[in-house]
Amino acid sequence: MNPERQIREEGFAIIPGVFGNKRILDFAEELNACNPPRSRAGVRHAMKLPVFANLANDPQLMGIAKGILGSKAFPFRATLFDKSPAANWLVVWDQDTALPLRKRLETPGWGPWSVKEGVIHAHAPESALSQILALRVHLDDSIAENGPLRVLPRTHTLGVLSDGELHELSTQFVAVDCLTPSGGVLAMRPLIVHASSKSQSDSPRRVLHIEYASSEANFDGLELALA
């Protein structure tokens, strides 16, 4: 099954070999050189930093995003997740529903609202989230022991779910561990139900999670912020 069809039907696809080893090593060196401010989990609101914006706009990634979202696709948010024995965490079954916005405008279907590190966020409706694609660039091999992302295939079509519905689905679907090699990309829809366990390995698991939108005109008059 080709990636575009798999993303449409399953809600995710693993695309190996998008970047060669040299490109990944060069990015890691650029990352170390710029030494961005870090939280316990990694680096958030990273699109404002050139090292992240340059990779997000790489022709390889833009080609994948445009193949799914259309010719006007653009990156708007980047987050580096850096899971290791020193910074370890788990994610319970969840969906990614909050989007960064330039300003608050009370709009039906949007909310609750919050401000995270100075950036306005609102939980978005299914109509907006269907216009989003995340591409997760793996800087290290994602293996069963270092806390890989797990997904419940086809759940991206079920809309925005409550905590109870998420738990119920986790008992009904067979989870897939997204084991992605270094240089590979995991493409996923934000509404696919996903989780990850703590790492049980000394091997690092660095992932650059980049989100793309289909255009700037599909969000009920709200404007996405770079984050």
Alpha helix locations (H) across 35-140? 50-56, 59-69, 126-129
pTM: 0.95
Evaluate whether 64 touches 129 at the Cβ level (below 8 Å).
no
Beta-carbon contacts of 50 under 8 Å, excluding residues fewer than 6 positions away, are 34
- What would the pLDDT profile of 5-64 be if each residue is shown by its tens digit? 999 999 999 999 999 999 999 999 998 898 887 776 778 999 999 999 999 999 999 999
**Higher-confidence position of 71 and 201:** 71
Evaluate whether 94 touches 193 at the Cβ level (below 8 Å).
yes
Question: How many residues make up the chain in this entry?
Answer: 227
Residue type for 188, please?
M
pLDDT band for 75, please (50, 70, 90 cuts): very high
pLDDT of residue 85: 67
Where do the domains of the chain lie, and which CATH numbers do they carry? 3-213 (2.60.120.620)
**Higher-confidence position of 46 and 85:** 46
